[in-house]
Amino acid sequence: MTVLFDKSAGDAKPKPRHPEKAHKPDNAVLRKPSWIRVKAPTSKGYAETRKIVHDKGLVTVCEEAACPNIGECWEKSHATFMILGDTCTRACAFCNVKTGLPGPVDTEEASKIGMAVKEMGLAHVVITSVDRDDLSDGGAQHFVDVIQAIRAASPKTTIEILTPDFLRKDGAAETVIKARPDVFNHNLETVPRLYLKIRPGARYFHSLRLLEKVKEQDPSQFTKSGLMVGLGETKEEVMQVMDDMRSAGIDFLTIGQYLQPSRKHAPVDRFVTPDEFKAYETIAKAKGFLLVSSTPLTRSSYHADADFAKLQAARKARNA
Ligand code: SF4
């Protein structure tokens, strides 16, 4: 369970991370089943990754989202950098990232990330961001700056981006597509029926169209999208989303269990069993995705480095 207050700034009076949720009634938190439990992070590799991230003043979604995989990922130097600050202008019901009005963009961030990627010797890196509805381009140019800085510092590193939806930001998606990341990821998160409740600031068909545009404008980029399950969706609805994703040409689907960050967040409807995740994987593969990762602890950046190699191999095999 995640704390409701942000004590990171060392303020005498900690600020609520989610002021918009403070007056909402508490939701009961279900006990996690055995297949969700993870060990506390204690390895030497974890400590080294933590030091690099904190010494450089970088933000990661691994920490901000209270990801359960942090021990495993950071042990292997696999951190997902979150750019454009630690404060999001949206207030999704599932997300643990702090909500509010963000500060100015750190103009040194691109070079700091480039140096961190080099220092960590990453073969593949994932870059995500908060939503920046306050910026005229939604932060698109900053994504480009970060991609270019990584290429300059570590030319062999492949780059995966996990972007916001750039809703009402004309030309923003095109700006980022032109920077030619190796993988363009944007999560649909849930089925369209649950958008108003779970992702009220977003629009399902806009998100789908964003990924379709990537394929139209540069088919060489892999496209990827993810769903959380356990929010009250039905199997039929998940299968419909898979069909919508395939119509938009999406290559890689990730499906993982939704975990409730606090009593103020959307409740877990149920824990989907490992067998049901396996069944989703079988169905999605039959629908034509190049790659599918569907397990309770799958997150969009989980095993992203190994999965990138699998994506390349799958494309090669299909083209052959
Ligand atoms: S799954 Fe992604 S967000 Fe979670 S710890 Fe690993 S890299 Fe970070």
Q: Residues 169, 138: contact at Cβ < 8 Å?
A: yes
- Amino acid, single-letter form, for residue 154: S
Low-confidence residues in the chain, pLDDT < 50: 1-3, 9
Return the best residue to mutate from 67, 97, 185, 300 for the ligand 1 pocket (most ligand atoms within 8 A of CB): 67
pLDDT at 4: 52
pLDDT at 2: 47
Q: Is 80 in the pocket of ligand 1 (CB under 6 A)?
A: yes
Q: Is 302 in the pocket of ligand 1 (CB under 6 A)?
A: yes
pLDDT at 3: 44
- What is d(CA 40, CA 70) in angstroms, rounded to the nearest whole number? 9
For ligand 1, the distance from its centroid to the CA atom of residue 111, given in whole angstroms, is 22
Nearest alpha carbon to residue 291 among 258, 274, 313: 313
Q: List CB contacts of 45: < 8 A, sequence separation 6 or more.
A: 74, 75, 76, 77
